[in-house]
Amino acid sequence: MTFVDELTARSADRLSAIIGASRGSTDGGTSHALLQIALANEVAVAELAASWVGTTPELDVKLAFARQAGDEAGHFQLVAERLRALGFDMDAFVPPAANPLFQVLATLDGTVARIAAGLFTLEAIAYGVNESFIAYCRAHDDTETVRIYETIIQPEEREHQLIGRTLLEKYAATPEARTLAQDTVDRVLEIASRTRAAAATRLGVACIPGC
């Protein structure tokens, strides 16, 4: 097994727990309300990736963050257009303050930690919980949101994660770098689990899209 394979296997149970929790009760929420949360998450990831572009020296990683930022901004626009079609006034949307997960991620320095957090782990979480959201939308006959996620958002989220795997294999090349990557993944999964559980309790619905 490669290092990234080992890291994936090591984190599988914790990631599965987060994804499994996102399949909880579908009562109490609407796709309209949940898409507004998706908006906040998309802009948060876009801002995070963009903030790392200028301070990442490795060109391939710099461009990966730039691509991630652009794609997530595109996802924001797709979700915004869907919300407008559902009658939401986008002029009234104000992104909330960063949740604890993104507050921590914004402080990360170093290429390996940023790849492990932003491309490898965040995108794995997003892809998994988005699958639960797609199932929720399908159950509520929101076929257009299902189409947007299945044909555009999810393929790009998967591609970000695959890029993260490749870059992590390349740059986590020493025992110290690999330990840092493992610690970063553990930390992101732990904080994401807590913040998503708190959000699910507050909203009364668990299938929240995005991170």
For residue 152, the enclosing domain spans 29-203
Residue 62 maps to a domain: yes
Model confidence over 60-80: pLDDT tens digits? 999 999 999 999 999 999 999
Residue 11 maps to a domain: no
Mean pLDDT of 14-39: 80
CATH number at residue 106: 1.20.1260
Residue 6 maps to a domain: no
Please give the model's pTM, rounded to 2 decimal places: 0.92
pLDDT computed for residue 93 by the predictor: 86
Mean pLDDT of 191-203: 87
State how many domains the chain has: 1
Question: Any residues with CB less than 8 A from the CB of 112 and at least 6 apart, and which?
Answer: 168, 171, 172, 177, 180, 181, 184
Residue 166 maps to a domain: yes
Question: Which residue, 130, 142, 123, 138, is CA-closest to 189?
Answer: 123
Residue 21 maps to a domain: no
Is pLDDT above 80 for 27? no
Model confidence over 149-161: pLDDT tens digits? 999 999 999 999 9
Residue 162 maps to a domain: yes
Residue 94 maps to a domain: yes
184: buried, middle or exposed (CB in 10 Å: 19+, 13-18, 0-12)?
A: buried
First to last CA, the chain: 28
Q: Is-contact 50 71, C-beta < 8 A?
A: no
Residue 13 maps to a domain: no
